[in-house]
Structure 1
Amino acid sequence: MLIADTILIDETEIEERFIRASGPGGQHVNKTESAVQLRFDLAGNTSLPDAAKRRLVRLAGSRMTKDGSLVLKADSHRERERNRAEARNRLRKLIE
C-alpha cells in the first residue's frame, strides 16, 4: 500500500476482516458482513522510521493493541468495498 512517494507498506502487514456492522441499516445490516476491521502490524513493520512509529502510537491511542497492532474499524457505508477504502484511507492519513 503506497502511503507517500517514499513510504510503501507491505500488504502482508495489513490484515482485513469483514464483520457485521452495527447500528441502523435495516435487516440487511444483520445479514451481511459489510464493515471492515483493519489491523496494521506496526511492531513488525520495517519500512517506517522509528520517529514515525512513535508518532503513530501516540496518535492511535486506544486503537493500538498490546502486541503492537493498530486496529481501525470502518462501518459507515453499506458497501464492503467503500468501508475497506475508508479504513485504508484512515490508515494512510494517520501515517502521513
Structure 2
Amino acid sequence: MNFDKASLQKEISYKTSRSGGKGGQNVNKVSSKVELLFNINDSALFTDEEKLLLNEKLQSRFNKDGYVQVICDEERSQYLNKEIAVERLIVLLGNALIKPKIRKKLKVSKAAKLARLGNKKAQSDKKENRKKNFDIN
C-alpha cells in the first residue's frame, strides 16, 4: 500500500447525521453517525492500474454517485466514528489491492503414478487373498 492515513484524509469527505441506538440524553441532539465518502477515480494516491483493480473489486461498495461508502455509528462520539470509518476504508482498500497468486498446474510425475498404482495393486491383492481364505473354510 502506497498511501497513509494523512494523505487519505485529504481526499475523504464526510456526512454526519443523528445515530440510532445508545446515546442517552444526547441521542436526539448530536450528529454522531458518520458516512465516509471516497472517490477512487479522482484520487491522486493510486495509479491507473490500481484504480481499475479497486473499481472492479469494490463495485458493490459504490453508492449511486460512484463513491466508496463506509458508514459507522458504533460510538457516541463523532470523532471516534470518523476514526473507525477511516480505518475500515484503509483495510478495504488494502484488501482490494492484493492480487491473488496465479495457480500453476503441475503434472503428476511418472514415478508418482507408478507408486500410486503399485499401492492400489498391493491393497487389491491383500483383499483378494482374504476372500480366498474365507471361501476355503
TM-score by length of 1: 0.75
- Kindly report which structure 2 residues correspond to 1:59-70, keeping only aligned pairs within 5 A, or say none: 59=58, 61=60, 63-70=61-68
Q: Is the 8 A contact 1:64 1:71 kept in 2?
A: yes
Where structure 1 has 5 or more consecutive residues not aligned to the other structure, the ranges are none
Higher fraction of strand: 1
Cα RMSD after superposing both structures: 2.1
- Kindly report which structure 2 residues correspond to 1:34-53, keeping only aligned pairs within 5 A, or say none: 34-53=32-51
- Does the alignment pair 1:75 with 2:73? yes
- Does the alignment pair 1:22 with 2:20? yes
Higher fraction of helix: 2
Q: Is the 8 A contact 2:22 2:76 kept in 1?
A: no
Bigger mean CA deviation after superposition, 18-27 or 86-95? 18-27
Alpha-carbon spacing, 1:19–1:10, altered in 2? closer, same or farther (3 Å): closer
TM-score by length of 2: 0.56
Q: Taking every aligned residue pair, what percent have the same amino acid on both sides?
A: 32
